[in-house]
Amino acid sequence: MGLKDTVSMPNGSKVWIVIAFSSLAWIFSVTATGTCTFMKRAVEYSLKEDDVKHPLFHESRGVGFWGWEFADQCYSYTIGVKEPNFDSVYGAARAFTGVADAVGGIAIIGAWFTSCFPADKAKFRVLAVLLLVVSFFEMLSLILFASTLCKDASFFSYGVSENEAVPSTEDDRVTSTCSMGPGSALAATSACFYFLAGIAARLVR
């Protein structure tokens, strides 16, 4: 009995390309969503050292969809009983990454089923469209760079006491910027892999 007789591939070997790319994409996507180092946030200012006292404003740190990083530890955005004031861009980015994780998971289940059960060309077209849509949503999660997490130098001011100085967003000597972190790199890679999986699914059969 040969290998072809023992290993059933009802839709051909190309299916495994779809499965490999989509599975890796989903793993990267979920990891990016959960990490607290999606981006690296830094506040730069040309003020006297005594003007900004709290370490929340002195040091670069990782920030993500669900928490922030300090000294290689993840912390919730809830500080004590205080909650940050997120803007609509943050809310949209978190929604996009949630949709990408959920729909991507459904697409992967569909892809794995094609390794065991016959599927016609129309089903693979649907799978291809689904994977390409997930790729689009994954890329949209990167709008987090345009949220107040990056643009508002005083974002963490809710977490300090009233007698401590915080930088003001109206002070042009204070700038807040974000750079790529491990999470955003994984999200971008995930979007590329979903795209490749979608193209591969379109070419099956």
Q: pLDDT tens for the chain, 205 residues: list them.
A: 344 443 566 777 788 899 999 999 999 999 999 999 999 988 776 655 555 555 555 567 899 999 988 878 898 988 878 888 889 999 999 999 999 999 999 999 999 988 888 878 888 899 999 999 999 999 999 999 999 888 887 787 776 666 555 555 555 566 788 999 999 999 999 999 999 999 999 888 6
Q: Is 202 helix (H, G, I), strand (E, B) or coil?
A: helix
Is the distance from CB of 186 to CB of 31 less than 8 angstroms?
Answer: yes
Is the distance from CB of 157 to CB of 166 less than 8 angstroms?
Answer: yes
Please give the backbone phi and psi of residue 145, each rounded to the nearest 5 degrees, phi first.
Answer: -65, -20
Which pLDDT score, from 0 to 100, does residue 12 have?
Answer: 72
Give the C-alpha distances (Å, rounded to integers) separating 112 from 24, 29, 77, 115, 201. 13, 18, 37, 5, 12
